[in-house]
A and B are shown apart, each in its own frame.
Chain A
Amino acid sequence: MTGPQQTPEPSAAFNARLEELRRGYAKGLPDEIALIRQCWGLARTLPSFDPLILKPLRTHVHNLAGSGATYGYDRLSRLMQDIEQKIDLLADFPEDAGRIVLELDALLAEVDTTSVPSGEQKNWAELDIHRPRKRPDKLKVLLALAKDSPSSGLDEQLLHYGMEIRVCDPEALAERLVEFHPDILLFEEDAESNRICPSLRNLFDQAQSQSDNDKMGYSEKGIPDIFILNNQPSIATRVRAFRNGAREVLFNPPEISALLAKIDDCFLEQVGGAIHVLIIDDDKELAQFHANVLEQAGFKVEIAHTAAELEQKLGNFSVDVILMDLHMPDYNGIELSAALRQDPSLYGVPIIFISVEQDIVRHLGAIKVGGDDFLIKPVAVPYLIASVETRARRGRELRSLIRKDGLTGLFNHVSIEDSLQQMLARAIRSKTDLSVAMIDLDYFKKVNDNYGHLVGDRVLIDFARFLKGRLRKSDVVGRFGGEEFMLILPDTSVEHGRALLESIRQSFSIVNHNTAATPVRVTFSAGVACHPDFSTASTLIKAADTAMYQAKEQGRNRVITASRETLQTEGGNGE
């Protein structure tokens, strides 16, 4: 028998040797990263991504992912893990290569050659508290509520949106923070008993002292965004809360959809990879210089020197922003942009002119035909980057608004049908199932008639959020029109689709959409149809729609699946 072996305290010699190893690692790191960039630079333009060709790149990335955090480079490890995953996707899903290449570009742009071990950054002053983070798959929310709180039903409500909820007494906050590691904290203040939310700093210190045993320390897991619930929020309350590091003070009890929107704002929308810039300039050297500058900033750049090249580039490059010289031999920039503005696929794409032209009248002419910005040569590098970036982002937002339904933020009719075409093509190629569900809210007109359009709109918004909270990232949901919604569920058989819809149906039916005296509850009827039972987008939609109407006829508040006969009884299977 032997007793448990004790781990001795590391000696000074050990620490010195460790430090030496770390220094060695740090010294070699820029070369490693440069090598990875170089490998990727060679690989990214390949016509196809054979795993064998990607292997050297993948090996380097894998090695850094595995060693980074051991030497204190936690962020680097995480980035490399993401990159490795994307490289695997590249080989597995060639049809998505275009997008994945850009995501890889973006990830590699985040790799900082001069990165320092994150251990050295653990400093309170540098904790960037309100920086948007990625939204976790299951959001953890901690409610610190007093007994008899007016917000006591909140946990029940939030639960319906796919969040993980804990409720605790405000006194026991520090312990629960450490146990639960919430992403969001709601703290109920009470003026009468003088209970106010502790400052972020204070909470952090408390939590850290609670987690002394936890070697990784509390900061590793991040600190939550804090919302304060207050019965009578005043300017003074809000300023104090702001100083203490809270995100916002909300009226107690908060309105559920407003609260959900505030929570959403804490997290980054997934942005769609690197920004694409098309440079049109007959001056080859200058075009190349601008391209280099923008590429270094992480943008993806294509150059066209002539109108003919421009047409060809536009055919196979989806553009976020166009950077155009005002004076060119064949056409001038104003003429060219007037022509580009007539191409519907370029709708909302910003055009930035570059010129030595100082004449304000010509600027006006350029702006009239659709130029969005005007830069004067020589353009200072930071100004060029900032200008391109802001314009591109705004253009993307604009185009996303066009694709999305204004009320619910879901895809609109046209874009969800586009998505279905693409996802179905993929399902057919990979011989996997794909389910489509059509959903229609029951007696929705009555809600509008009895409670007004505001409540009706809230129901639609609640339902959109509810769906988003319950679905996987790969699922797509759109508002088909009115109170009709469509879901696309890849890799999902008709039975699984039905089971999912059934569970959503049951839990949605108990959500109350009205904070006023009379509760408002809404049910829905749904029809589910599946590839390979139906093999085209239009038959899938038609079958799901027919099944949905059957659900309506059979008494509503139910889910019906479509079989091949569903359409035949309607006269022909529409294949």
Chain B
Amino acid sequence: MAPPISKIVYVEDEPDIQAIAQMALESIGGFQVILCSCGREALEVIPEEKPDLILMDVMMPELDGPSTLKALKGMPECASIPIAFMTAKVQKSEIAEFVGLGAIGVISKPFDPMTLSDEVRSLWAKAHDGTATDA
């Protein structure tokens, strides 16, 4: 059984989405949520906060999601933190590409705020089932 998630770092540049996702994750999911508004900020915050899970937008100005992921995977203290992407254009090939990079999965935008936390949990559970020995 997967351990519970308590702390999530959420990287998203769109304020509208940031607000509603944070609320959904905190109020409905009961998670502690730390917001980052760009990839650079995430690279500073994540090594300090050491969250259980990272949720990250794919399309961001400057450092986009996949580049941020690669940078994180290169930091020993962050390399093992599971990362899930959130994106508006989900095609099978893209999911495969992101998973190939090391993401645990993709949550498609637009999301339903009522079920976002469930989606996060099921991705988390799936990642732990598949890699039980790593956990």
Question: Chain A contact residues (Cβ within 8 angstroms of B): what range?
Answer: 20 to 34
Contact across chains for B110 and A5 when beta carbons are under 8 A apart: no
Task: Decide yes or no whether B47 CB sits under 8 A from chain A.
Answer: no
Rounded to whole angstroms, the CA-CA distance of A347 and B58 in the bound complex is: 50
B115 within 8 A of A: yes
Select one of B27, B28, B113, B117 contacting A70, CB under 8 A.
Answer: B113
B residues within 8 A CB of A25? 16, 20
B23 touches A70 (CB 8 A): no
Q: Return the chain A residue nearest B18 by Cβ.
A: A67
Does B1 interact with chain A (Cβ within 8 Å)? yes
- The distance in angstroms between the C-alpha atoms of A165 and B52, with both chains bound, is 46
Most buried by B among A11, A62, A81, A84: A62
Residues of B within 8 A of A24 (CB): 19
Chain B hits for A81, CB < 8 A: 88-89
Least distance between A93 CB and chain B CB atoms (Å): 18
Establish whether residues A70 and B4, one from each chain, have CB atoms under 8 Å apart when the complex forms: no
Which of these, B27, B109, B110, B118, contacts A14 with CB under 8 Å?
B27
Whether A7 contacts B118 in the complex (CB less than 8 A), given A63-B14, A67-B110, A70-B109, comes out as yes
Q: Does B17 contact A (CB under 8 A)?
A: yes
A7-B118, A25-B16 given; A66·B110 CB < 8 A: yes
Please indicate the chain A residues that have their CB under 8 angstroms from the CB of B3 in the complex: 2
Q: How far is the CA of A81 from the CA of B30 in the complex (A)?
A: 31
Any B CB within 8 A of the CB of A497: no
Instruction: Tell me, in angstroms, the Cα distance from A65 to B58 when the chains sit together.
Output: 14
State whether the Cβ of B29 lies closer than 8 Å to any Cβ in chain A: yes
- Residue in chain B with minimal CB distance to A22: B20
Residues of A within 8 A of B118 (CB): 7
CB-CB under 8 A from A215, the residues of chain B are 112, 114-115
CB within 8 Å for A5 and B109 given contacts A62-B88, A66-B17: no
How many residues of chain B have a CB within 8 Å of chain A?
A: 28
Which one of B27, B109, B112 contacts A66 once the chains associate, using CB atoms below 8 Å? B109
**Chain B, 10-50, CB within 8 A of any chain A CB:** 14, 16-17, 19-20, 23, 27-30
Check if A71 is an interface residue, CB within 8 A of chain B.
Answer: yes
Residue among A7, A28, A62, A71 making CB contact with B20, cutoff 8 Å: A71
Query: Looking across the interface, which residue of chain A has its beta carbon closest to that of B125?
Result: A4
Q: Which of B66-112 contact A (CB under 8 A)?
A: 87-89, 109-112
Q: Do residues B28 and A67 form an inter-chain contact, with CB atoms below 8 A?
A: no
Q: Are A10 and B16 in contact (CB under 8 A)?
A: no
Q: Do A5 and B30 have beta carbons less than 8 Å apart?
A: yes
Given contacts A5-B4, A7-B28, contact A67 B17 (CB under 8 A): yes
- Given A8-B28, A70-B112, A2 contacting B1 (CB threshold 8 A): yes
Interface centre among A8, A14, A67 (most CB of B within 10 A): A67
Given the complex, which residues of A lie within 8 Å of B28, measured CB to CB?
7-8, 10, 14
Question: In the bound complex, how far is the Cα of B117 from the Cα of A71, in angstroms?
Answer: 16
> Closest CB of chain B to A412's CB: distance in Å?
37
**Does any Cβ of B come within 8 Å of A407's Cβ?**
no
Is the beta-carbon distance between A65 and B27 smaller than 8 angstroms? no
Does residue B59 face the partner (Cβ distance < 8 Å to A)? Answer: yes
What residues of chain B lie closer than 8 Å to A21, measured between beta carbons? 19-20, 23
Of the candidates A11, A71, A84, the one having the most CB atoms from chain B within 10 angstroms of its own CB is: A71
Residues of chain A in range 33-75 having any CB-CB distance to chain B below 8 Å: 59, 62-63, 65-71
Query: Measured between alpha carbons, how far is A25 from B20 in the docked complex, in Å?
Result: 10
Partner of A7 from the list B1, B23, B29 (CB cut-off 8 Å) is B29
Query: How far is it, in angstroms, between the C-alpha of A13 and the C-alpha of B23 when the chains are bound?
Result: 11
- Structural contact, A14 and B23, CB atoms closer than 8 A: yes
A70 contacts B1, CB within 8 Å? Answer: no
Decide: A8 and B20 in contact? CB cutoff 8 A: no
A491 to B130, CA, bound (A): 38
Further pairs besides A24-B19, A59-B61: 6, Cβ < 8 Å: A63-B14, A63-B17, A65-B109, A67-B110, A77-B110, A81-B89
Sample 19 A-B pairs with CB under 8 A, ordered by A number: A2-B3, A7-B117, A13-B27, A14-B23, A17-B23, A17-B27, A21-B19, A21-B23, A25-B16, A59-B59, A59-B61, A65-B110, A66-B17, A66-B88, A67-B16, A67-B109, A69-B112, A215-B114, A215-B115
B residues within 8 Å of A by Cβ? 1, 3-4, 14, 16-17, 19-20, 23, 27-30, 59, 61, 87-89, 109-115, 117-118, 121
